[in-house]
Amino acid sequence: MTTSDMSDDGEPTRRDFIHIFGAATAAAGAGAVLWPLVHQMNPDASVLALSTKEVDLSAVPEGQAIKVMWQGKPVFIRHRTPAEIEEAKSVAIAQLKDPVARNANLSGTEEATDENIVTGASGEAHEPWLILVGVCTHLGCIPLGTSAGESRGDFGGWFCPCHGSHYDLAGRIRKGPAPENLLVPPYQFVTDTVVKIG
């Protein structure tokens, strides 16, 4: 401020107050106009509802699997038997085509051990429950092996008949053209029998 903008006692004048008040009012008005424009760019409620999905697993018997949809993609949830868990644990990393777990709940560099694949967002492994995005990593087909009686390929997990990719009981690619293991989506157990995906 210059000395002409101040009164004789060094205080701001009435004109200064009017300018400050006018600028503050204009800023508030601009905010009131811009807020709805910015807010309309947020995802709508139906999109937010699809970002997560809760699944009750209490009705899935041991040895069976279900398929649910999450964000437009199938997710396979398998309730593995103790024998299936032991078989998945017995596979050496050196035998795997893709040695990385591909688990969104981990940092992304962990080895494809069974424990790393069944670890959720809490960092706790839930051995009986295998949760995978059901999209073949070769060309995006949906592998078979969710329903009882379906062919599960050479390794007891999933089989993609389109190009012959075989996945084991931990969703790891073992044979065929697929370059990577099936992806593990972000998930956490809300209770012992309810899992939230996303």
Tell me, yes or no, whether 19 and 65 share the same domain. no
What is the mean predicted confidence (pLDDT) over 20-28? Answer: 90
Quote the pLDDT of residue 177.
Answer: 92
Report the domain count for the chain.
Answer: 2
Q: Which two tokens stand for residue 152?
A: 């599960």
Residue 133: CATH number of its domain: 2.102.10.10
Contacts 24+ apart (CB under 8 A), 80-84: 80/127, 80/128, 80/129, 80/130, 80/169, 84/156, 84/169
Tell me, yes or no, whether 66 and 111 share the same domain. yes
Tell me, yes or no, whether 94 and 192 share the same domain. yes
Tell me, yes or no, whether 93 and 137 share the same domain. yes
Tell me, yes or no, whether 83 and 158 share the same domain. yes
Q: What is the extent of the structural domain holding 128? A: 48-197
Quote the pLDDT of residue 116.
Answer: 92
Sign of the dihedral through C-alpha 139, 184, 116, 193: negative
Tell me, yes or no, whether 83 and 135 share the same domain. yes
E strand or H helix at 82: helix 82-89
Tell me, yes or no, whether 113 and 161 share the same domain. yes
For the cut 70, the answer to whether the pLDDT of residue 1 exceeds it is no
Per the residue annotation, which of 19, 126, 138, 163 is the catalytic one?
Answer: 163
Tell me, yes or no, whether 26 and 91 share the same domain. no
Average pLDDT, the chain: 86
What is the mean predicted confidence (pLDDT) over 83-90? Answer: 92
Quote the pLDDT of residue 150.
Answer: 61
Tell me, yes or no, whether 183 and 126 share the same domain. yes
SS3 91: coil
For the cut 80, the answer to whether the pLDDT of residue 138 exceeds it is yes
User: Active site includes 138?
Assistant: no
For the cut 80, the answer to whether the pLDDT of residue 109 exceeds it is yes
